[in-house]
Amino acid sequence: MFPKFGLTGFLVLATVSCGSQLLAFTGDDLVLQERSGEPFQELSTAQLDAWIQGRIDYGTPVTIAGGLGPVFNKSNCQSCHGTGSIVGGPGTIEVTFFGADDKGSFVDLTHLGGPVHQLSAINSECHEEIPVEASIVVNHITNGALAYGLVEAIPDAMLLAMEDPFDNDGDGVSGRASMTEALEAPGVMRVGKFGWKAQLPTVLSFSADASLGEMGLTNRLLPDEIAPNGDQAMLDSCDTVADPEDQPDANGLEFIDRVTTYQRYLAPPPQTPKSGMTGEAIFNNVGCTACHTPTLTTADDPQLESFLRNRDFKPYGDFLLHCMGTLGDGVRMGDAFECEMRTPPLWGLRWRQAMLHDGRAGSGDFAARVTTAINEHGLFGEASASMALFAALSQGEKDALIQFLDSLGRIEFDFDGDEDVDLDDFQVFQDCFDQNGVIVPDDACAIGDIDQDGDADLDDAAYLMQALDVTPDDCNDNGVADLIEILGDPSIDDNDDGVLDACVCIADINDDGTVGGPDLAVVLSFWGTSNAGADLDGDGLVTGADLSLILANWGPCPGG
């Protein structure tokens, strides 16, 4: 077996060539979902090249000579936007906002360097402090950038139609769209979709704003440097690189263009099972979908890439502003008031370590974090009714709801939830494969019932072969994956190692496909020692037992 994916500074996608005989394909058009952090499968070669270049830039630190600082939070995008190996996902890094309270209203103190506090500086003389005038200091954890192309492609008209600012339907929820301007198109009001306050309407605006605000990288959309604590003299002495610092490459593209492409081409996180779980019905019944809208549709716009155009997707978020009562951050930003926050999409929730805008739900296991996040949705806010309904659920109902939320971001066939598909997952699938009865979406085996037809059979096994993080072996060269053969007859893999017993040739020490004189010579030369290569039975000593294994297996190896 060899790895399907390799990382050499960025993700390189390799096509797995597996014939229909090897994988027993069913001939339908079902395809595996992309994993979190992967690009859309439909990218052309040129688009994938652009995505890879953007991925490189996303994780490459900006240098001081390249425009970092003079004040900044991190030197690259990936430091903030990522969870484990999922580059572009929500992170745990906190960004500090400060301002002053003026009779209940937030004043952003821009003349003192606000509202964002840049934690780091290129040298100690340029360091920025939170000013004593700041009576409001709050932290925001960094949002994820997954599937930003889909989010950007939601028609403004769709979100405006979802508004109910005066709660005309009486459900206690009064979401409204944040109206703002794109940095690249000033003067045109659009619906904001990005940031905790929905303060930015496009991915390019998001990239430009973060480049300046988080890395100090001036660019064509925001060409003016941030003065530490608003001190222009300090800026003049610290800033040594001419603005704008983000300059075009040989293809005429700037950093903000390349990372914008990367974020736009990131696929949405998977959801497994895709539908039918009892917990999703409970999610709807307690009113979560009033804000966490399950399904949205992108615009049917010929200017969009084909994989973004007129596409249904499931973010579990409405991207509108909602007053969250005591969960509000107290910050006024753009069109958003102090108590208002943009509904964060829930896709990929299962692997988020920190939940809610300030990460307060960041301790314990997944169930504990989710429970804390729900219970902390804020008193006197639009989520109050849903909080009360959740509190009234039985423990079994709460467990079912949490089980559903745990499906948001789960890789298909990832039974143990460790973000890969390996032999451990195959062995669980094998138990499901032998199981009698009908699999329903709430069953653990539903993680392997990819076609959701109620069983885990050879049709699903074909997709499991694709999902494995290693390419399946065919050690006897009969055109059928060994694991498929093992599913049909588990006795041919007596030690459950995923390798056909007939293909194991333990006495072939020199790996020439035959047990013979050279192997015998090795055993005799290390007789009485603990040499691992000659200790065939693993008892710690080379003895007659190892010699017996040589003689018992003399000749060509099975399958050799």
Q: For residue 300, is pLDDT > 50?
A: yes
Tokens of 239: 């800033």
21-25, 115-119, 419-423: least confidently modelled range:
21-25
CA dihedral over 531, 532, 537, 541, signed as positive or negative:
positive
Three-state DSSP at 334 gives coil
Other beta carbons within 10 angstroms of residue 484's beta carbon come to: 18
Three-state DSSP at 495 gives coil
Q: How far is Cα 234 from Cα 71, in angstroms, rounded to an integer?
A: 11
- Rounded to 10 degrees, the C-alpha dihedral 337/153/359/107 comes to -30
The pLDDT of residue 9 is 33
Percent of the chain with pLDDT over 90: 84
The pLDDT of residue 160 is 98
CA angle, 440 then 446 then 448, to 5°: 150
CB-based burial, 330-364: b 16+ in 10 Å, e otherwise:
bbbbebbbbbbbbbbbbbbbbbbbbbbbbbbbbee
- The CATH number of domain 505-556, selected from 3.20.20.70, 1.10.1330.10, 1.10.490.10, 3.40.50.720: 1.10.1330.10
Helices (H), 292-393: 366-375, 384-391
Summarised one tens digit per residue, pLDDT across range 350-389 is: 999 999 999 999 999 999 999 999 999 999 999 999 999 9
| 340 backbone dihedrals φ, ψ, rounded to 5° | -90, 140
Q: For residue 502, is pLDDT > 90?
A: no
CA angle, 453 then 415 then 24, to 5°: 50
Q: How far is Cα 276 from Cα 270, in angstroms, rounded to an integer?
A: 15
CA angle, 218 then 223 then 228, to 5°: 65
Contacts of residue 492, defined as CB under 8 A and 6 or more positions apart, other chains included, come to: 485, 486, 500, 501, 502
**Strand 82-83 to 86-87 pairing:** antiparallel
Contacts of residue 139, defined as CB under 8 A and 6 or more positions apart, other chains included, come to: 94, 95, 96, 97, 358, 359
Q: Of 51, 47, 40, whose CA–CA distance to 308 is shortest?
A: 40
Average pLDDT of the residues in 311-333: 97
Q: What is the DSSP-derived secondary structure letter of residue 169?
A: T
Q: How far is Cα 255 from Cα 219, in angstroms, rounded to an integer?
A: 9
Average pLDDT of the residues in 229-245: 96
Q: For residue 13, is pLDDT > 70?
A: no
Average pLDDT, the chain: 92
Q: Give the residue with greater pLDDT, 536 vs 221.
A: 221
Model-wide pTM > 0.85:
yes
- CATH 1.10.1330.10 in the chain is located at 505-556
Q: For residue 14, is pLDDT > 80?
A: no
Q: How far is Cα 33 from Cα 41, in angstroms, rounded to an integer?
A: 9
Whether 151 and 364 have beta carbons less than 8 Å apart is answered as no
Average pLDDT of the residues in 92-102: 95
The pLDDT of residue 558 is 67
Average pLDDT of the residues in 302-319: 98
- Rounded to 10 degrees, the C-alpha dihedral 436/439/442/447 comes to 100
The phi-psi region of residue 479 (left if phi > 0; otherwise alpha if psi is between -120 and 50; otherwise beta) is left
Q: For residue 459, is pLDDT > 50?
A: yes
Q: Of 249, 226, 251, whose CA–CA distance to 236 is shortest?
A: 226
Burial bucket for residue 47 (CB in 10 Å: 0-12, 13-18, 19+): middle
Average pLDDT of the residues in 275-299: 98
Q: Which amino acid is at 355?
A: M
pLDDT band for position 560 (cuts 50, 70, 90): low
Q: How far is Cα 314 from Cα 318, in angstroms, rounded to an integer?
A: 10
